[in-house]
């Protein structure tokens, strides 16, 4: 916690520093990273985001790690982000090379505004708004994955879905994100999905051991 710590851990496979913001305090360090390692193996690397990547010094690292970084203020909703990504896959992806693509969403994030396209299913409390924005993000992502799957663009591909952090709603008397390490704040989903042979060999199901952002890299 907060977002920038998970951003660095996901990309580097390193635990966050206990009292330093790695993204800013270690800007001169050469850190290992998943996209750079894949780039050395011939992967094309592209980052798409619905949130301004200059926040918290992210852009400095993204320019080191990826071939391109795509952000457009007119595409800050998840539906717009995923629609653009679907179009990009069809028109600009180099299909002769393996790819590592990252998409960072924004709509399902505090304060969970019900933007255009978000269905209202309950009241206006934070938990109810979170539920509705989560449904919206899920639907937008499902539309993208269905499109890519039908086009054969997910063959031999692993899709990894995770979050940056959770959010407490007072379960332990705490409503501030970084005031607790309870699972409500720190717990995130980690889903590996796709038609890659390695996933097919492993089989489907739930692995109930503790996982972490650092396991992705």
**pTM score, two decimals?**
0.95
Structure tokens at 43: 């992967």
pLDDT score, position 196: 87
Mean pLDDT, range 86-97, rounded to an integer: 96
Q: Flag whether pLDDT at 67 surpasses 90.
A: yes
pLDDT score, position 122: 93
Q: Is the peptide bond before 208 cis (omega within 30 degrees of 0)?
A: no
Structure tokens at 128: 């109810």
Q: Flag whether pLDDT at 75 surpasses 90.
A: yes
At 115-167, the pLDDT tens digits run 999 999 999 999 999 999 999 999 999 999 999 999 999 889 999 999 999 99
Structure tokens at 191: 């889903």
Cβ 35 vs Cβ 100: under 8 Å = yes
């Amino acid at each position: 916690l907060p977002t920038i710590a998970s951003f660095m851990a996901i990309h580097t496979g390193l635990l966050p520093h206990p009292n330093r913001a790695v993204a800013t305090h270690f800007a001169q360090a050469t850190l290992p990273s998943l996209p750079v390692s894949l780039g050395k193996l011939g992967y094309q690397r592209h980052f798409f985001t619905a949130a301004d990547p200059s926040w918290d010094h992210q852009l400095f690292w993204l320019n080191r790690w990826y071939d391109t970084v795509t952000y457009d203020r007119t595409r800050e909703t998840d539906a717009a982000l995923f629609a653009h990504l679907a179009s990009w896959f069809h028109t600009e992806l180099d299909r002769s090379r393996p790819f590592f693509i990252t998409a960072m969403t924004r709509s399902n994030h505090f304060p969970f505004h019900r933007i255009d396209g978000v269905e209202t299913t309950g009241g206006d409390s934070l938990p109810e708004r979170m539920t509705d924005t989560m449904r919206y993000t899920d639907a937008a992502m499902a539309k993208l994955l269905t499109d890519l799957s039908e086009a054969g663009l997910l063959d031999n591909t692993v899709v990894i879905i995770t979050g940056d952090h959770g959010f407490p709603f007072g379960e332990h008397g705490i409503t501030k994100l970084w005031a607790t390490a309870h699972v409500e704040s720190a717990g995130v989903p980690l889903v590996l999905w796709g038609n890659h042979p390695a996933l097919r060999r492993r089989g489907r199901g739930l692995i109930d051991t503790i996982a972490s952002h650092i396991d992705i890299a």
